[in-house]
């Protein structure tokens, strides 16, 4: 299994784009506004993406879906990638986010399934032999968000506030933990200080992701905590 981040940045990051993860070259976990640009930079396009899973409805995770939908419909002969949605996002992604841009086209009214082969993702599901387990997280009150356990090897936190029992529980058996981060306390992501409070055997598996452009100011702090940084476009191999 290969993991490649199309971006490793926060919602506002410009240097390393937004935190979207590509698995085995064609399974995209989240599709933010910078996903299309990231594919373009590396001589690829949405034509190369066959499966998309969405963790939650912030624009750094769904802002590229309109471009993906229109490109596939009008430039790639109506090609329909599979779109995997947790039950909680099944209606809201369309009604509250995508409908404004995608509903009306020249030939009439469209629904989400006109652009994507929509699949309701159960708690545990497979894509081309890769196993995914949905892990609900706490990001913003009353807003659904989830992380993933991938092939029982990789813990991908998604966007979440610090949930030590979750990281300890899933992280104890994981080979690697990709965790979102921020560098101050009190926001909607885990802070580096909080992650640094985890046991050493957990910290040594952690790669920080979803970080701001000024992350360079926190290199020594991360080194002291014994955690690494996820790097944009680096291909990580597991299994």
Minimum CB separation from Zn ion for residue 57, in Å?
Answer: 8
- Interface residue with Zn ion among 7, 38, 46, 58 (CB under 5 A) is 58
Task: Give the count of alpha carbons within 13 A of 145, CB side only.
Answer: 23
Q: Is 60 in the site for Zn ion (CB under 5 A)?
A: yes
Q: Quote the tokens at residue 237.
A: 């191999």
Q: Which stretch binds Zn ion (CB under 5 A): 56-64, 65-73, 110-118, 213-221?
A: 56-64
The one segment of 51-59, 77-85, 199-207, 212-220 that binds Zn ion by CB under 5 A: 51-59
Residue 56 CB, nearest approach to Zn ion (Å): 6
Please choose, out of 5-13, 41-49, 93-101, 218-226, the segment that lies near Zn ion by the rule CB under 5 A.
5-13
CB of 30 to Zn ion, least distance (A): 8
* Nearest-angstrom CA–CA distance, 35 and 14: 12
Q: Which is nearer to Zn ion, 73 or 195 (CB)?
A: 195
Q: Which residues contact 35 (CB under 8 A, 6 or more apart)?
A: 6, 7, 17, 18, 20, 28, 46, 64, 68
Please state the length of the chain. 239
CB 61 to Zn ion: min, Å: 6
Q: How far apart are CA 83 and CA 46, in angstroms?
A: 13
Interatomic CA distance for residues 180 and 159, integer angstroms: 6
**Binding-site residue total for Zn ion (CB under 5 A)?**
4
Question: Residue 159, interface with Zn ion (CB under 5 A)?
Answer: yes
Q: Which residue has the tokens 């894509």?
A: 127
Region binding Zn ion by CB under 5 A among candidate stretches 44-52, 59-67, 111-119, 229-237 = 59-67
Residue 16 contacts Zn ion per CB under 5 A: no
Cβ distance 17 to 47 under 8 Å?
A: no
Q: Which of residues 194-223 bind Zn ion (CB under 5 A)?
A: none
Pairing of strands 108-109, 51-53: unpaired
How many other CB atoms sit within 10 Å of the CB of residue 129?
8
Cβ proximity of 59 and 32 under 8 Å: yes
Residue number, 67 or 103, with CB nearest to Zn ion = 67
Provide the minimum distance between the beta carbon of 216 and Zn ion in the complex, in angstroms, as a whole number: 20
What Rg value do the Cα atoms of the chain yield, rounded? 17
Binding segment (CB under 5 A) for Zn ion, from list 91-99, 111-119, 157-165, 219-227: 157-165
- Smallest distance, Zn ion to C-beta of residue 22, A: 16
* Interacting residues toward Zn ion by CB under 5 A: 11, 58, 60, 159
């Amino acid at each position: 299994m290969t993991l490649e981040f199309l971006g490793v940045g926060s919602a506002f990051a410009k240097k390393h784009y937004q935190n979207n993860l590509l698995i085995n070259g064609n399974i995209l976990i989240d599709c933010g506004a910078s996903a299309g640009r990231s594919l373009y930079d590396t001589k690829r396009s949405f034509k190369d993406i066959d499966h998309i899973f969405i963790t939650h409805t912030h624009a750094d995770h769904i802002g590229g879906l309109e471009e993906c939908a229109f490109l596939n419909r009008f430039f790639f002969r109506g090609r329909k990638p599979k779109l995997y949605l947790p039950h909680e996002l099944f209606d809201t992604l369309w009604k509250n986010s995508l409908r404004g841009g995608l509903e009306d086209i020249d030939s009439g009214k469209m629904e989400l399934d006109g652009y994507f082969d929509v699949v309701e993702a159960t708690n545990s599901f497979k894509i081309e032999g890769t196993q995914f387990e949905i892990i609900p997280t706490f990001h913003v009150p009353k807003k659904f968000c989830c992380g993933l356990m991938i092939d029982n090897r990789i813990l991908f936190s998604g966007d979440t506030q610090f949930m030590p029992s979750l990281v300890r529980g899933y992280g104890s058996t994981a080979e690697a933990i990709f965790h979102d981060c921020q560098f101050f306390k009190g926001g909607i992501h885990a802070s580096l200080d909080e992650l640094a409070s985890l046991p050493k055997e957990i910290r040594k598996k952690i790669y920080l992701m979803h970080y701001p452009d000024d992350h360079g100011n926190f290199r020594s702090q991360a080194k002291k905590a014994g955690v690494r940084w996820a790097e944009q476009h680096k291909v990580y191999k597991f299994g």
